[in-house]
């Protein structure tokens, strides 16, 4: 009977329990001491493979079985049974109480309810809540919710509703637009009892309602709704940081970017749209040299593929670039890595369209003809990356048209796979599936094909890819950015929140189009504020499609060039620290950027504040409001904080003056060792590594420093510098002891922060 289901156990092991009522099934897997998976499905439903979950090893092309337990540390909870109630106790003290009537799970911490499935029914076992799969849980009035990918608005998403799908949202409003580019149904919830995280493992179009909906018949609730045919979700327990790190481990290690990618990387639509593209691209390098500005990458917009006014992936426009290989060789010789734009759809008049259609390599209609939809300048069809032939074709084209010309990177763009027609079909590697059900998987496989092509062409190089869209699995292959933002102060502020939201969703390597992509050329003040903020994020890229045809460049306002160069010099100085943080992200699952509250349990921290962390040791503060020149920065208690050579105690608010001219300002944590590049700034200048010690008054602390060749996998075999550092501080001395666990000697030196009168001793 609907709204009344009496479940009974049908299969029980130490770490897994399965239950059944009629055609309804629920499975519990205890995958760790603080990790649980729940799957609710009906008989006869096909559970599609996942590309989201990869706790160990490499993801197969065909994906991973949705209920696979390999790679997890299976856990056997203590189980008690009392009639229709089962109680499971995890090692961290979390207690799960299961009511077998309607399968209601409740979670308790120290005998207080953390959250619960919504009674009397939380799942759509019999169609009580419509056609979609759904999961209702309780909510508190003042709870806070963080995550969900690249969602706009403030950091706390509680009380709002969101759609989880991928859309090309050029010129989006960073405060209000939804959805954007990413499909990541994961969030962290903090309430009066503690914290928990939930990740819904699906690729189908979905939605969250986090308190915008009210219903008199139920206690306050929130819910997840999906066009998938089942509900599969993971529940995490711990602090906000512990939950994020658990989710990061579940999703798989992020791709380790090469060191050069943390330097300034340029881009603009204008250069490649111009009829004399190569002339303009070479003039760009001449300008860099003349002004002594460094640049290590250039995102080559799709104008290089044009025929007339349209863009055709894998086509080189030889009028614009008469000799692509020679052009690439020139850029490489200047230390600038070209990162060419590639798109997964082929316009109907693309020179290769008919061939691809005959091969059957497009997403298809039910009758086998190519599925046609709107794409950029006309109608076209998406390549079906679940078709083995299409997958290999993409790899061959990436190799032949790009990598064979000397390119080593790819920019995987416009890959939202905007397919909503339920009749459109993907091959599914021999098991056909509605394409609308797997849109983020198609994005993932596009990135995987590019990744494989790059690593086969250059097996000793860590591939560098950038992807605009994707699921959480894309972190294993590529970095990302917030997409085609707007040139406005409001969007600067809310892109700040979008970036931190992506980071709290497991996308650690991210950034923005600094200055704004869509709109007018940014004003002097806005450009500098964007750069001051971008200084502290992993991706440092100016990119634009300005309404007047201009390009946002470091020299866009020549009268503020000194300020721009000061920020660029700061960026160069921070690259060794960025790289060290990147290593920690890959090894320890730590985010590069995070709000202060991820690390500090301090009630005085403003959750929506303008300050944020870069790694564990730098606290950055920025200004986001036009005309403002100062901001109040709260310094978390329990730490001391250095601003330059001046030490401030924690637990206080400091008013920081940051003019609209000049560089950015930031605090360094007392009890840290921060690697800087103190070499000369400018075009192709060498690195000079200095480890600066920021001591505490007395006592000891530890630190770690990593470096390698900056681009290969050799570090995995010990070909790196990996210093384990211990610092002892007293009234007179600061003593540093190091142990290098890598095979490469440390090529640099230590120094004590300026202004500290103690003697530095290296032991």
Summarised one tens digit per residue, pLDDT across range 495-526 is 999 999 999 999 999 999 999 999 999 999 99
Share of the chain above pLDDT 90, in %: 98
Share of the chain above pLDDT 70, in %: 100
The 8 Å CB, 24+ separation contacts for 208-211 are 208/148, 208/157, 208/161, 208/162, 208/164, 209/161, 210/139, 210/145, 210/157, 210/158, 210/159, 210/160, 210/161, 210/162, 211/139, 211/158, 211/159, 211/160
Q: What is the pLDDT of residue 204?
A: 98
The rounded distance, in Å, linking the Cα atoms of 198 and 634 is: 30
User: How does pLDDT run across 226-257, given as a tens digit for each residue?
Assistant: 999 999 999 999 999 999 999 999 999 999 99
Tell me the average pLDDT of the chain.
Answer: 97
Reduced to 3 states (helix: H, G, I; strand: E, B; else coil), residue 123 is strand
Q: What is the pLDDT of residue 490?
A: 97
Q: What is the pLDDT of residue 433?
A: 98
DSSP letters, 67-83, are T--TTS-----EEEEET
Strands (DSSP E) along 68-157, which ranges?
A: 78-82, 85-89, 95-99, 104-109, 112-116, 133-138, 144-147
DSSP 573: H
153 pLDDT more than 80? yes
648 pLDDT more than 70? yes
Q: What is the pLDDT of residue 91?
A: 86
Q: What is the pLDDT of residue 515?
A: 97
Please, are residues 267 and 301 in contact by the beta-carbon 8 Å criterion?
yes
- Compute the average pLDDT of residues 39-60: 97
Please, are residues 481 and 541 in contact by the beta-carbon 8 Å criterion?
yes
Distances, alpha carbon 289 to alpha carbons 284, 286, 590, 600, 612, in Å: 9, 5, 37, 44, 34
Q: What is the pLDDT of residue 2?
A: 86
The rounded distance, in Å, linking the Cα atoms of 71 and 249 is: 10
Please, are residues 181 and 469 in contact by the beta-carbon 8 Å criterion?
yes
Name the pLDDT band for 578 (thresholds 50, 70, 90): very high
1 pLDDT more than 80? no
Non-local CB neighbours of 187 within 8 Å, separated by 6+ positions = 145, 146, 147, 148, 157, 197, 198, 208, 210
Question: In degrees rounded to 5, what are phi and psi of residue 703?
Answer: -150, 170
The rounded distance, in Å, linking the Cα atoms of 334 and 289 is: 10
Name the pLDDT band for 385 (thresholds 50, 70, 90): very high
Rounded to 5°, angle at Cα 651 from 646 and 656: 50
The rounded distance, in Å, linking the Cα atoms of 704 and 719 is: 16
Strands (DSSP E) along 277-371, which ranges?
A: 297-300, 306-307, 310-311, 337-342, 345-347
DSSP 97: E
With a threshold of 0.95, does the pTM exceed it? Answer: yes
DSSP letters, 694-730, are E--SSEEEEEEEEE-SSSBSGGGGT-SEEEEEEEEE-
- Find, among 447, 622, 448, the residue nearest to 531 by Cα: 622
Name the pLDDT band for 175 (thresholds 50, 70, 90): very high
User: How does pLDDT run across 586-629, given as a tens digit for each residue?
Assistant: 999 999 999 999 999 999 999 999 999 999 999 999 999 999 99
DSSP 256: -
DSSP 667: E
Checking phi first, is residue 110 left (phi over 0); if not, alpha (psi -120 to 50) or beta? left
459-492 in b/e form (b: 16+ CB < 10 A) is: eeebbbbbbbbbbbbbbbbbbbbbbbbbbbbebb
- Find, among 362, 392, 409, 41, the residue nearest to 231 by Cα: 41
- Compute the average pLDDT of residues 454-469: 98
Name the pLDDT band for 377 (thresholds 50, 70, 90): confident
Question: In degrees rounded to 5, what are phi and psi of residue 267?
Answer: -175, 160
Please, are residues 502 and 474 in contact by the beta-carbon 8 Å criterion?
no
638 pLDDT more than 90? no
Helices (H), 209-299: 240-251, 269-273, 277-291
């Amino acid at each position: 009977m609907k709204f009344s289901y009496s479940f009974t156990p049908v299969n029980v092991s130490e770490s897994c329990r399965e239950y059944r009522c009629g055609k309804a099934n629920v499975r519990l897997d205890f995958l760790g001491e603080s990790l649980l998976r729940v799957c609710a499905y009906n008989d006869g439903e096909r559970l599609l493979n996942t590309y989201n979950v990869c706790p160990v090893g490499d993801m197969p092309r065909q994906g991973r079985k949705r209920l696979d337990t390999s790679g997890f540390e299976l856990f056997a909870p203590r189980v008690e049974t009392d009639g229709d109630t089962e109680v499971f106790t995890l090692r961290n003290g979390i207690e799960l109480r299961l009511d077998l009537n309607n399968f209601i799970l409740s979670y308790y911490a120290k005998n207080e309810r953390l959250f619960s499935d919504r009674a009397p029914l939380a799942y759509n076992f019999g169609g009580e809540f419509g056609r979609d799969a759904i999961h209702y849980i309780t909510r508190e009035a003042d709870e806070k919710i963080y995550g969900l990918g690249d969602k706009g608005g403030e950091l706390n998403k509680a009380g709002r509703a969101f759609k989880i799908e991928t859309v090309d949202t050029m010129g989006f409003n960073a405060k209000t637009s939804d959805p954007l580019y990413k499909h990541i149904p994961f969030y962290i919830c903090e309430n009066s009892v503690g914290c928990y995280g939930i990740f819904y493992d699906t690729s189908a179009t979905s939605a969250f309602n986090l308190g915008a909906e009210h219903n008199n018949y139920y206690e306050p609730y929130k819910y997840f709704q999906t066009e998938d045919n089942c509900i599969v979700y993971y529940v995490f327990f711990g602090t906000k940081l512990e939950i994020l790190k658990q989710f990061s481990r579940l999703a798989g290690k992020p791709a380790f970017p090469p060191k050069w990618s943390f330097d300034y990387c340029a881009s603009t639509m204008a250069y490649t749209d111009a009829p004399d593209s190569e002339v303009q691209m070479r003039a760009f390098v001449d300008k860099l040299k003349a002004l002594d500005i460094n640049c290590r990458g250039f995102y080559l917009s799709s104008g290089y593929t044009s025929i007339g006014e349209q863009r055709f992936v894998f086509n080189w426009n030889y009028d614009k670039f008469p000799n692509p290989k020679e052009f690439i060789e020139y850029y490489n010789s200047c230390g600038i890595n070209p990162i060419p734009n590639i798109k997964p759809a082929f316009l109907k008049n693309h020179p290769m369209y008919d061939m691809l259609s005959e091969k059957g390599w497009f997403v298809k209609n039910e009758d086998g003809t190519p599925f046609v939809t709107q794409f950029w300048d006309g109608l076209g069809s998406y390549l079906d990356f679940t078709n083995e032939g299409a997958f290999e074709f993409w790899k061959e084209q990436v190799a032949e048209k790009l990598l064979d010309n000397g390119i080593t990177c790819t920019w995987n763009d416009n890959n939202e796979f905007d397919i909503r027609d339920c009749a459109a079909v993907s091959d599914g590697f021999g098991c056909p599936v509605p394409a609308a059900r797997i849109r983020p998987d198609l994005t993932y496989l596009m990135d995987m094909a590019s990744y494989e092509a790059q690593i086969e062409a250059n097996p000793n190089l860590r591939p560098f890819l950038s992807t605009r869209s994707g699921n959480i699995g894309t972190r294993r292959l590529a970095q990302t950015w917030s997409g085609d933002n707007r040139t406005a102060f409001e969007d600067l502020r809310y892109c700040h929140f979008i970036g931190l939201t992506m980071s709290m969703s497991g996308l650690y390597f991210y950034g923005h189009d600094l200055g704004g992509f869509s709109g007018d050329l940014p004003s002097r003040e806005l450009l500098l504020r964007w750069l001051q903020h971008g200084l502290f994020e992993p991706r440092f890229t100016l990119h634009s499609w300005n309404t007047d045809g201009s390009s946002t460049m470091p020299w866009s306002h020549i009268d503020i060039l000194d300020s721009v160069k000061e920020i660029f010099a700061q960026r160069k100085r921070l690259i060794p620290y960025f790289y060290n943080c990147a290593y920690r992200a890959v090894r320890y699952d730590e985010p590069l950027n995070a709000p202060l509250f991820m690390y500090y349990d301090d009630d005085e921290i403003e959750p929506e504040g303008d300050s944020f962390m870069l790694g564990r040791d730098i606290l950055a503060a920025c200004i986001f409001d036009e005309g403002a020149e100062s901001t109040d920065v709260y310094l978390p208690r329990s730490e001391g904080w250095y601003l330059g050579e001046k030490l401030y105690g924690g637990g206080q608010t400091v008013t920081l003056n940051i003019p609209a001219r000049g560089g950015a300002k930031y605090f360094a944590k007392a009890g840290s060792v921060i690697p800087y590049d103190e070499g000369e700034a400018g075009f192709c200048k060498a690195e000079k590594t200095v480890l600066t010690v920021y001591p505490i008054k007395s006592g000891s602390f530890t630190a770690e420093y990593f470096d390698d060749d900056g681009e290969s996998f050799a570090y995995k075999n010990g070909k790196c510098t990996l210093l384990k550092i211990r610092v002892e501080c007293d009234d007179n001395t600061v003593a540093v002891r190091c142990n290098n666990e890598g095979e490469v000697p440390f090529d640099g030196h230590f120094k004590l922060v300026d202004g500290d009168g103690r003697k530095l001793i290296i032991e």
